[in-house]
Amino acid sequence: MLKISPWKGVVRFGKQGKLSPRYIGPYKIIERVGEVAYKLELPEELQGIHNTFHVSNLRKCLADESTEVTLKDIKVDKTLSYIEQAEAITDRKVRKLRNKEISLVKVQWKHHRGLEATWELEKNMRLKYPHLFA
């Protein structure tokens, strides 16, 4: 499986490392190139990408097909990056500090399981995803 990662700072509001990268695939290995690289058989959608990858960008494919994310579900650019998309608001809370209150919402992200929902600032989410608050 081939590693892709969300754009840092675009939707995540500058927070890094909160959501782990996803893998797409599986793709067939054509040949081994050197000691730490493999050449993959890529589909038509990824023809603009070089087909040789370092082993750090690959993951052994597991038999569980429910974890597979296809290219049809997400849009991947030539740098193998995609933008995370919020799917639903699942919870709200207000954090009280000494002099102010901060409104937070729990966001369920597309292509992530329930345990990977994250708390985000409500004002930022209202700006980026107003349709979730209607």
CA distance 25 to 43: 10
> In order of start, what are the domains of the chain with their CATH numbers?
2-82 (no CATH), 86-133 (2.40.50)
Predicted confidence at residue 121, as pLDDT, reads: 93
Share of the chain above pLDDT 70, in %: 73
Share of the chain above pLDDT 90, in %: 28
* pLDDT higher than threshold 50 for residue 14: no
For the stretch 58-92, pLDDT in tens is 888 765 656 566 666 667 777 777 777 888 899 99
Predicted confidence at residue 37, as pLDDT, reads: 94
Predicted confidence at residue 105, as pLDDT, reads: 94
Predicted confidence at residue 87, as pLDDT, reads: 87
* pLDDT higher than threshold 50 for residue 47: yes
More confident residue, 55 or 112: 55
CA distance 19 to 112: 9
Average pLDDT, the chain: 78
* pLDDT higher than threshold 60 for residue 18: no
Dihedrals phi, psi of 130, to nearest 5 degrees: -65, -25
Contact 50, 39 (CB under 8 A): no
Predicted confidence at residue 2, as pLDDT, reads: 76
Task: Write the single-letter amino acid at 94.
Answer: V
